[in-house]
Every structure is written in structure tokens, then in C-alpha cells.
Amino acid sequence: MRSSVTLVARRMAGVTAAAVGIDQAGRTLCDWEIDKHASGSSQRALMAINADVPHRAWREGPALEQLAALLAVEDEWQVSGSVGGEAGLCAAVRAGTGHSLYCEASLIPNAGDGIFASGAIPSGRVLSVYAGMHRCPWDSVIHRTSRLLLPLLWEDGYMLNQADYSSIDGAKYTAAYQRKMNGYVVPSACTQLVNHPPSGSPANAAFLCINIPPSSAFDRIPVQAVWRKFASQPQVATLLVSIASIKDGEEVLVDYGFAENGSEFPEWYAPCVGPSKSKCMNSWSGPSLRDYMENEGFR
């Protein structure tokens, strides 16, 4: 009896060791760089407003500076007492950065919530972060595989596949969830609420996938790592950047960039017009076609 128990224990230890080894190997092999071409529209918009600043060490410099300023204004508003609720936060961000975002029903029929400009927004401005749960590339592979094999165990969420093959699930940062938990929608945490333009209309914003450096300025970034043991904060995040001038009160729209590889699109989807077209790689870069099609609550 004792020998059989020992044999089972050894087998379990062997299986566990093998699983840990495969997991660590997967994390090492799936440590990919960001595909810069996937954020071409937002990169060009950011570079255009900084063309006369030759000392920029990287293209992401302006984006990181604007993101840090946005998070700092929101933090100051919270520390000072969160005066005015959601409207007060929007006004504080607008006063501190020159513009802000607010959430209300989209002007697009049957599109649910949308986000709108508070104040005129020039091109090349960081507007918000795609908030949610961050999965590294290896965890994203496991998640997508498990969803295909066991779809009933997973809820469809606001899934975004980032340009380093990691992913963000924004299901816990819907407008309803934020208002229930915090009492307000945070301007820096509403990119997952942005809608795709209706047919014949161009996008006025684009995604920017970016490395977030370890700094106290980004401690409040609204992205959580799945495994806090391996990462206190995610290394990669997706920002929303204006690629055209946006009028006060105008709805912010982004090209979802579904991969044109013969897949069936939802009825409401039409490819974007204009130069904002995203680069897609079999629906990995840009929002996941499968996730959005199955998530009726998104639209």
C-alpha cells in the first residue's frame, strides 16, 4: 500500500515538474517585441506634433508624458476629495490637460455606451488606456486555446489582442461596472468603451501599443496582471490616441481593424475609410473578431 502511494506521489510530482517546465519555457519563447507597424496611425499623429523636438529618445516619449500627466491629474482629484463625482472628474481632467472624455449612450444605433470629447482635442493626444486584465503572450495562447476547447467555461469579454501578442480583457471595466464600484467612469480607463465608425465614416482615434516603464508615474495605470507573482504591473498597454482633431462633444471612434481573411463580419461592421486602416494579422493584431462577434453586450 505504501509503495503504491509513493508511486502515485512520484508520478504527480513528475507531472507537476513537467507542467512547470513547459509553462516556463512557453513564457520564455513567447516573449515577443511590439510590432510597431500595428500602431502606425497613432505613431504618425504623435510624431507630427513633436517633429520640431529633436531630442526625443523614442517615439513613445510624448505618449508616456501625456499618459503620466493624465494619471497625475486624476490622482490629484481623488486625493482632494473626488469633488463633483463623474462630472467633476471630467472637468478636473479637462482643466489639467486641456481635454477629457466622458461616457454616455453612443450616437450609433444599437452601439451601447460610447465615449465623447470634453473640450476640443487636437490630433496626436493620448486620450485613455484600454483598461482590464493583462495576459502575457503565453497566457493569451492558453486562454484562446481553452476558449476553443471549452467555450462554455468562459464569458465573452471586451478582448483586445495587443501588438506583442498579449491580450487585455476589459470586461471588468465596463461603464456600468465602474459606476457600480467607484461611482464614476474614469477618463483614463475607458478605451474599451470606444466604438467603431459607422459605414462611410472615418476613425478619429487609433490604438497605440506601448511599453510602460517601471515608474511611480504609472502606478495607477488601469491594467492588472493576471499573475501578480510574475509582474507587479504589465509591461505593455494599449493607449487611445487622437489621429484627427475632435470637436467638443464629438464621439470618439476607432478602427477595430478586423482581419480581412475571409471571416464573416458582424452585420454592423464595415471596414474603415481613410488612412486610419489598421494592420491586421489573422485577427491577432487589433480586437479579436471572434470575441467581439460573440459578445452581444459590446455593441
The number of CA neighbours under 13 Å toward the Cβ of 231 is 18
For 78-132, the pLDDT digits (tens) are: 999 999 999 999 999 999 999 999 999 999 988 889 999 999 999 999 999 999 9
In a domain, 151, yes or no: yes
Task: Find the length of the chain.
Answer: 299
- Of the chain, the percentage scoring pLDDT greater than 70 comes to 64
Beta-bridged to residue 224, according to DSSP, are: 133
State the Cα–Cα distance between residues 134 and 244, nearest whole angstrom. Answer: 28
Cα→Cα distances 255→16, 23, 48, 66, 102, Å: 43, 34, 20, 22, 19
In a domain, 89, yes or no: yes
In a domain, 9, yes or no: no
CATH number reported for the structural domain that contains residue 260 in this entry:
2.170.270.10
Confidence at residue 296, expressed as pLDDT on a 0 to 100 scale: 39
In a domain, 12, yes or no: no
CB 286 within 8 A of CB 161: yes
In a domain, 108, yes or no: yes
Expressed as residue numbers, the domain containing 159 is 34-298
In a domain, 11, yes or no: no
Cα→Cα distances 37→25, 26, 178, Å: 27, 25, 32
Total count of domains within the chain: 1
In a domain, 14, yes or no: no
In a domain, 23, yes or no: no
Confidence at residue 294, expressed as pLDDT on a 0 to 100 scale: 42
For 129-187, the pLDDT digits (tens) are: 999 988 876 666 556 666 666 655 555 557 788 888 888 888 889 999 999 999 999 99
The C-alpha angle 126, 130, 134, rounded to 5 degrees, equals 135
For 1-44, the pLDDT digits (tens) are: 556 667 666 666 655 555 555 545 555 555 656 776 777 888 88
